[in-house]
Homo-oligomer: A and B are copies of this chain.
Amino acid sequence: MSQRSPQLSKAQQCRFQRLSASQPSRQIQSEGGVTELWEESQEQFQCAGVAAMRNTIQPNSLSLPNYHPTPRLVYVERGQGFISVTFPGCAETYDSQQTQMTSESQSQRQDLHQKVHRIRRGDIVAIPAGAAHWCYNDGNEELVAVSVNDLNHQSNQLDQKFRAFYLAGGVPERGQQEQERQTFQNIFQEFDSELMAEAFNIPSETVRKMQSKENRRGLIVNVRERMGFIRPDEEQQQEQEQRGGQSDNGIEESYCTMKIRTNIENRRDTDIYSRQAGKVNVVDRHKLPILKYMDMSAERGRLYQNALLSPHWSVHGHTIVYVTGGDANVQVVNNNGQTMMNDNVNKGNMFVVPQYYTVTFKAGNNGFQWVAFKTTGWPLRNPLAGYTSVIRGMPLQVLTNAYQISPNQAQQIKINRGGESLVLSSGGRSD
């Protein structure tokens, strides 16, 4: 009934003076790919309470089953594959899904339990806290996925530190990876093998294989024979329906069958479009209802050559921007009368725009493309310039008196961008 917000400990405060675009600083090399990690202890990530990573899975490789105490939003930057997400408490509903699997291998018996989802470039995938998931690259190119974990979400009653619990594999013992070994571990590894053998009713030899003690191939492994899945055509259709029929009632009932993915590059779903300036697609709790429970959202943006994103502030959460192409000048200011960021950003950079701070982008000559992850399921912006801006909503006299300008100047501030709103074309007014 109460709605208290988090208290941030010293280290997590947002009182820093400088934001900067950064690249992943650590990596875990596995047999079938690589996991790159942004430095979680950077002030900007501490302030936003997020941990970010980029996974590259080689063709015919498997990202091993794991779960984490945080909701995670994933953007598929390149490639295709299959992902399976096991919702807690929903295991017994699998049979009724009648999802079927087949394979070039002859090893299948009646293996009807798994639920797998096709993922491809441009997809946003939602993984709830505590849900075990694995991912297989069945394509011919690398599968690259950028993920943001929201450490402050209330589903995490542990402290603000990223943890991953693997059901197989584990970080190899070689190299300078002490921190990674402590974060990404195989939970079977330390259980007594006799006890596990009894729990599963299997030979101890098999348990020792599950513990991966001798043979650590990392977090992503090569697959010996190609895996294949046949998914019923109904699923796609069903997902469409669920999206429409979602309601506030019957949380738990519908939770188990909720859609976990959507494509953020779907042209029909464009939220803001300007022929001169660019476009923005949002995936929020309306487009993907599971985001209501995860309280996260995502946005895909594209600015054309030299276009601008209107200076604005976000009200319901922090924004974590990942640059997917082009370049831009990014300016962020705070309420201390300081510029927190005034930098050029490029492909592969990530930076945080804290909640309520004002930000603007100006694309370079090659335009600018990005994906933003947000720590709210209900993302709202207040633009300062443009048709829907707060300044356009103010009476002329408020502007003339606030800025000591003439009514004409005030009118220009309000209307000179014409019908343009969030994405603004280069060189001024368009219609």
Taken residue by residue from 108 to 146, chain A's Cβ proximity to chain B (1 for < 8 Å, 0 otherwise) reads as 110101111000000000000111101010000000000
Of the candidate stretches A21-29, A72-80, A149-157, A261-269, the one touching chain B is A149-157
Residues A105 and B407 in contact, CB atoms below 8 Å apart: yes
Give chain B residues whose Cβ lies under 8 Å from the Cβ of A7.
Answer: 6-9, 12, 152, 159-160
5 CB < 8 A contacts A-B: A113-B392, A189-B337, A206-B413, A221-B401, A224-B400
How many chain copies does the complex carry? 3
Contacts A403-B212, A404-B215 hold; do A101 and B248 have CB atoms under 8 A apart? no
Q: Is A260 among interface residues, defined by CB-CB distance under 8 A?
A: no
Give chain B residues whose Cβ lies under 8 Å from the Cβ of A147.
Answer: none
Complex: A92 Cα to B409 Cα, angstroms: 23
Residues B390 and A2 in contact, CB atoms below 8 Å apart: no
Residues B156 and A316 in contact, CB atoms below 8 Å apart: no
Residues A113 and B376 in contact, CB atoms below 8 Å apart: no
Give chain B residues whose Cβ lies under 8 Å from the Cβ of A116.
Answer: 395
Q: Which of A169, A209, A383 has the most CB of B within 10 A?
A: A209
Give chain B residues whose Cβ lies under 8 Å from the Cβ of A334.
Answer: 185
Residues B199 and A337 in contact, CB atoms below 8 Å apart: no
| Residues of A within 8 A of B (CB-CB), count | 168
Contacts A9-B7, A167-B402, A382-B130 hold; do A65 and B224 have CB atoms under 8 A apart? no
Residues A158 and B14 in contact, CB atoms below 8 Å apart: yes
Residues A9 and B6 in contact, CB atoms below 8 Å apart: no
Q: Is A163 among interface residues, defined by CB-CB distance under 8 A?
A: yes
Residues B398 and A159 in contact, CB atoms below 8 Å apart: no
Residues B8 and A396 in contact, CB atoms below 8 Å apart: no
Of the candidate stretches A34-42, A51-59, A82-90, the one touching chain B is A82-90
Q: Which residue of B lies closest to A318 (CB)?
A: B157
Q: Is A15 among interface residues, defined by CB-CB distance under 8 A?
A: yes
Of the candidate stretches A238-246, A343-351, A365-373, A422-430, the one touching chain B is A422-430
